Amino acid sequence: MQQIPTIDNVTEARERLKGYAFVTPLLESPALNARVKGRVLIKAECLQRTGSFKFRGAWNCISRLTQGTAKGGVVAYSSGNHAQGVAAAAALMKLPALIVMPADTPDIKKANTRAYGAEVVTYDRERESREEIASRIAEERGAVIVPPFEHPQIIAGQGTAGLELVEQAQERGATLDAVLVPASGGGLAAGIALAVKAKSPATTIHCVEPEGFDDHARSLISGRRERNDRASGSICDALLSPMPGELTFSINKSHLTSGLVVSEAEVKRAMAFAFQHLKIVIEPGGAVGLAALLAGRIAAEGRSIAVIASGGNVDPAFYADVLTGR
């Protein structure tokens, strides 16, 4: 296993991200506060460069590479958001990027990845191994693999969202009782846990997953990495990793209090709520935290809860269906 990142790596990552990643706003909605009878702070990572938090980790990793150390560029495998983060970071570093993406990835994620100048190779989520395809291509090209979560620099980069969150909450006079963070491979949760537990130890951290893909929730209970039965078939296309990462779970198992699980109907309601009351576009995987809150999966009355809205890359036709209840 690789070295476990620390809060120092997160702090260092923040310096590296300055001027490249955005400090995303912490949004608040009186309507949402009234509804849960508490105070809710939304960390709007959908407003991050490339439309999700993934640029943070990608930049923290790729900005250290040079034409010398990565003469064949970078290769990544991703369901879409990491793809865009890697493609944008590589473009800024003038390195070629090739991304291995599932064939059923939303078109907007494929199109945006290509728009950043990356080459896209698709694979079958159920039958092929993206890691094997990426390894083979990286070897052929002399390229560096940028994994989506199992990497200390990736985790530390994602953690910068947690540092910002704690500081922005303090500026608003809020002491965070809990943080809700979507989990797929667990990189965002691990990074945010490192940051939040270092700066606000009493805050509890809860990952959130869609039904059928609740590997983290079950792993946190059993204490070992549990696997999902399925590898596809959720509207939360960003949250389909088969199991927690080894590195990420080594952090999450001790830093996370629990895992919450939401239904697809709850996710859609959260997306529509964000449209109506927050005026931000959240993709299904990015809306699970808000969905858990609105569904009452965590006590909010009289408390301050932060929700990470992790991404906003959703196809317009699907979003239209969510808004109109089709």
End-to-end CA distance of the chain: 45
Report the sign of the C-alpha dihedral through residues 267, 273, 275, 277, in that order: negative
CB nearer to a copy of itself: pick between 255 and 277: 277
CB nearer to a copy of itself: pick between 41 and 190: 41
User: Under a CB-based contact definition with an 8 Å cutoff, are residues 277 and 245 in contact?
Assistant: no
Report the sign of the C-alpha dihedral through residues 313, 316, 318, 322, in that order: positive
What span, in angstroms and rounded, lies between the C-alpha atoms of 248 and 150? 7
Partners of 41 in the beta sheet?
Answer: 306
Give contact residues for a copy of itself (rule: CB under 8 A): 22, 24-25, 27-28, 30-31, 46-47, 49, 51, 88, 108, 115, 272, 275-282, 312, 316-317, 319-321, 323-324
CB nearer to a copy of itself: pick between 29 and 228: 29
What span, in angstroms and rounded, lies between the C-alpha atoms of 64 and 154? 12
What span, in angstroms and rounded, lies between the C-alpha atoms of 267 and 282? 10
CB nearer to a copy of itself: pick between 100 and 161: 161
CB of 54 to a copy of itself, least distance (A): 14
Which amino acid appears at position 41 of this protein? L
Catalytic residue among 43, 52, 54, 253: 54
Nearest C-alpha neighbor of 269 from the set 257, 287, 285:
287
Pairing state of beta strands 39-44 and 26-27?
antiparallel
Please confirm, yes or no, whether 52 is among the known catalytic residues: no
Please confirm, yes or no, whether 310 is among the known catalytic residues: yes
CB of 56 to a copy of itself, least distance (A): 15
CB nearer to a copy of itself: pick between 126 and 321: 321
CA–chain centroid gap for 209, Å, is 12
* Residue 16 C-beta-side C-alpha neighbours within 13 Å: 25
CB of 92 to a copy of itself, least distance (A): 9
Active site residues: 54, 310
